[in-house]
Structure 1
Amino acid sequence: MDLRTLLRTGRVMAIVRGRDADASLRTVLALVAEGIKIVEVSLTSHRAFDVLAQARAELGSGAALGAGTVLTTDDTRRAVEAGASFIVTPGLGKGLDEACRLELPVLAGALTPTEVAAAVSRGASAVKLFPASLGGVDYLRALRSPFPQVPLVPVGGVDANSARDFLEAGALAVGVGAPLVGDAADGGDLGELRARARALLASVQS
């Protein structure tokens, strides 16, 4: 899977983190149905590996379905077994190294210039700028100067209002969690989730 191309064309990666496995699965399926092409299921979710496996069965082999908050070698291996087609890490660790060993695309978490450079040197497909809220759009612009060729994906504090600003500042795509998912993955209203998904896509595609 060419994760960079998917991020460049999809513009949005949804991040699902929930306390209700059934609701998390419904959330993933609803987001994809609304046109969000890339979805990450955080391993901090209840029964995350089951959610991944069921979503893969529902969506088929071609869906861009990833495992997030991957920290360890075991996390990576179990995510692959559950059907994840890419890995997202909060930082640089053994989960990143194992994914690269398995030749699995990785969106690796980094914040400082040193971490960005390390993520690239260790084989990350793209770099998750996290938490993006810490420096905002200006910090992304500053990083783009020494790293013009590094694909950066801001995550953490990104919403429908700021997503377009990040993209215009040079982000490859944006990752959006709670502002998009809300309480849907905990059993909340799917209609409201769908409306937020449509609003977010309209913002980044306009």
Structure 2
Amino acid sequence: MNTLSSILENKLIAIIRGANPEDVVSIAKALHEGGVNMIEITMNSPKALAGIEAVKAELGNQVLVGAGTVLDAETARAAILAGAEFILSPTIHLETINMTKRYGAVSIPGAFTPTEILAAYENGGDLIKVFPATLGPSYIKDIRGPLPQIPLLPTGGVDVNNIKDYLKAGAVGCGIGSALVNTKQKITAEYLEKIAEKARQFVVAVTSDN
């Protein structure tokens, strides 16, 4: 299964932002233990490239690792060479999209308005990160009305209580930040188990029929 198909099947991308470099692999393992196998390491985190390399070395094909908060093409290239299989940006940056596609990775640019979302898709975005998704599931439903062909990945404001609503509204998946991994917490063995349990809760929310 290729990267895009895996994202569409799993529907959950866990965002690790600002973690201490020595904690990234432990966090990734906790997420994997809980059933979340799509992991985004943001490029504004300390030693982000080393974190991507370390997770790939430790977990291999058990997880797919992407780079987030990618603002330019050279950062996208560096992240892909470090092992990133998908690239997320908070905005539409055409050179970043083009570089990502040139290297065969999945491009997930960020957009918000219908005009931006269409532009991101027409310029090569494989999935469009609707960011921030704080207007709620009804906004995703409204966007899907005139633009049903565009796969939307809301990020920012998604939690275990509303993720099902986002999916019912037509989202193909969601990016989950501090509702799943809060790197301001001290990363202890106890907190890693909490991450694994939260991951399980998200997986149940996504896969249950209720």
TM interval, short-chain normalised: over 0.9
Shift in CA distance, 26/73, structure 1 to aligned 2, threshold 3 Å: same
TM-score w.r.t. the length of structure 1 is 0.93
Shift in CA distance, 57/132, structure 1 to aligned 2, threshold 3 Å: same
Structure 1: runs of 5+ lacking an equivalent:
none
- Residue 180 (structure 1) shift: 0.4
- Residue 63 (structure 1) shift: 3.3
Q: Which residue number in structure 2 is paired with residue 124 of structure 1?
A: 125
Stretch deviating more after TM superposition (102-111 or 138-147): 102-111
Secondary structure in 1 matching 2:66: strand
Q: Which residue number in structure 2 is paired with residue 148 of structure 1?
A: 148
- Residue 129 (structure 1) shift: 0.6
Q: Which residue number in structure 1 is paired with residue 196 of structure 2?
A: 194
1:106–1:126 CA contact under 8 A, matched in 2 = yes
Partners of 1:150 and 1:17 in 2: how far apart?
A: 27
- Residue 10 (structure 1) shift: 0.3
Letter in structure 1 aligned against 2:118:
A
Letter in structure 2 aligned against 1:78:
A
2:89–2:110 CA contact under 8 A, matched in 1 = yes
Question: Which 4+ runs in 1 deviate beyond 6 A?
Answer: none
Secondary structure in 2 matching 1:60: helix
2:37–2:62 CA contact under 8 A, matched in 1 = no
Secondary structure in 1 matching 2:162: helix
Q: Deviations over 1:68-95 (max 9, x none)?
A: 1111111111101211011111111132
Shift in CA distance, 200/3, structure 1 to aligned 2, threshold 3 Å: same
Identity, in percent, stands at: 35
* Structure 2 residue 70 is matched with structure 1 residue 70: yes
Stretch deviating more after TM superposition (188-197 or 139-148): 188-197
Partners of 1:41 and 1:186 in 2: how far apart?
A: 18
Q: Which residue number in structure 1 is paired with residue 57 of structure 2?
A: 57
Q: Deviations over 1:86-130 (max 9, x none)?
A: 111111113223112323211111101111111111111110110
Alignment of 1:25-44 (within 5 A): 25-44=25-44
Shift in CA distance, 186/18, structure 1 to aligned 2, threshold 3 Å: farther
- Residue 3 (structure 1) shift: 3.7
Structure 2: runs of 5+ lacking an equivalent:
none
- Residue 22 (structure 1) shift: 1.2
TM-score w.r.t. the length of structure 2 is 0.91
* Structure 2 residue 115 is matched with structure 1 residue 114: yes
Q: Which residue number in structure 1 is paired with residue 84 of structure 2?
A: 84
Secondary structure in 2 matching 1:75: helix
Letter in structure 1 aligned against 2:113:
T
Letter in structure 1 aligned against 2:17:
R
- Residue 33 (structure 1) shift: 2.4
Letter in structure 2 aligned against 1:158:
V
Stretch deviating more after TM superposition (186-195 or 20-29): 186-195
